[in-house]
Amino acid sequence: MQACRHMSNPTTSHMGAAKRILRYLRGKPELEITYNKDSKFGLSCYSDASYARGNEKSRSVTGSIIFLAGGPIHFGSQLQRITAQSTSESELIAMNTTAKHGVYFAFMLGELGWGNLRTFKLFGDNRSALLLAASGNFSNRSRHIAVRYAALRDWIKQGIIELDFVASAQMLADICTKYCVREVQDQVMHQIANFN
Indicate the average pLDDT of the chain: 77
In terms of average pLDDT, the best of 48-52, 81-85, 94-98 is 94-98
User: Would the pLDDT of 119 be above 90?
Assistant: no
**Virtual CA dihedral for 137, 140, 145, 147, nearest 10 degrees?**
70
Tell me the CA distances in angstroms from 52 to 5, 36, 39, 49, 84, one per residue in order: 17, 37, 38, 9, 8
Q: Is the pTM of this model over 0.85?
A: no
Tell me how far apart the alpha carbons of residues 114 and 121 are, in angstroms, rounded to a whole number: 16
Which residues sit opposite 48 in a β-bridge?
A: 63
**Taking the domains of the chain in order of start, what are their residue ranges?**
1-30, 36-193
Chain-centre distance for alpha carbon 148:
19
* 36-193 is a CATH 3.20.20.330 domain: no
pLDDT 10s digits, 47-70: 988 876 655 567 788 889 899 888
pLDDT 10s digits, 30-46: 877 788 777 567 889 99
Determine how β-strand 43-50 pairs with β-strand 120-124. parallel
Tell me how far apart the alpha carbons of residues 173 and 57 are, in angstroms, rounded to a whole number: 23
Instruction: Name every residue whose Cβ is closer than 8 Å to that of residue 174 and which is 6 or more positions away in sequence.
Output: 48, 63, 168, 184, 188
100 band by pLDDT with thresholds 50, 70 and 90 = very high
User: Would the pLDDT of 98 be above 80?
Assistant: yes
Which residues sit opposite 120 in a β-bridge?
A: 161
